[in-house]
Amino acid sequence: MRPVFEIEVGENVRISKCDCCGAESRNGHGFVHSDGSARAVYYVGWTDKHRERGVAMAIAIGEWDDASTAQDRTGFGLVAHEEGERILFGFVGPDDSPWPRTELFGSMVDREAALAHPLSEEALLIAEAVVRSHPAVREFLRLSS
């Protein structure tokens, strides 16, 4: 049975500046619940001027109780981009992510490790749920309701 993920948007959109060109960039984050329990946290980021880059995503899956640390989580980098009428997802490594290492997520696994990781399918399912549920991401990717 495919797990059901509930997305809780923490911050829909925050404006910042693109590192490469200074254009407006947008960032957001949120929380992922499964069966009523915290399962993951995500970050998303995109720049209207760079539509071809899609939406950068970082997803940390694991334990989120008060005693947990970054060692109890696995961080994945992904990108979601439009191709015709479809949204495609791909794993990226730390060097291609705005969030290669954070105190909350820990270190992100590299692309090859992500492809073979036992949580890779779950990371993709969460990425799909985020794209469908995060309002600003939906708007950027032009998804209908």
Q: Is 101 inside any structural domain?
A: yes
Task: Please tell me the predicted confidence (pLDDT) of residue 145.
Answer: 56
Query: Residue holding tokens 């961080």?
Result: 75
Query: Is 76 within 8 Å of 111 (Cβ atoms)?
Result: no
Q: Is 36 inside any structural domain?
A: yes
C-alpha 60/C-alpha 37 separation (Å) is 14
Range of the domain at 15: 6-140
Q: Tens digit of pLDDT per residue, the chain (145 long)?
A: 677 899 999 999 999 887 778 778 899 999 999 998 999 999 999 998 888 899 999 999 999 999 999 999 999 999 999 888 899 999 999 999 999 999 988 889 999 999 999 999 999 999 999 999 999 999 999 886 5
Q: Is 25 inside any structural domain?
A: yes
In DSSP terms, 64 is beta-bridged to: none
Looking at the 3D structure of the chain, how many domains does it have?
Answer: 1
Positive or negative, the CA dihedral 93, 96, 98, 103 is: positive
Q: Is 30 inside any structural domain?
A: yes
Q: Is 102 inside any structural domain?
A: yes
C-alpha 55/C-alpha 81 separation (Å) is 6
Q: Is 145 inside any structural domain?
A: no
Q: Is 75 inside any structural domain?
A: yes
Half-sphere exposure of 75 (CA within 13 A, CB side): 24
Q: Is 1 inside any structural domain?
A: no
Q: Phi/psi of residue 61, each to 5°?
A: -110, 135
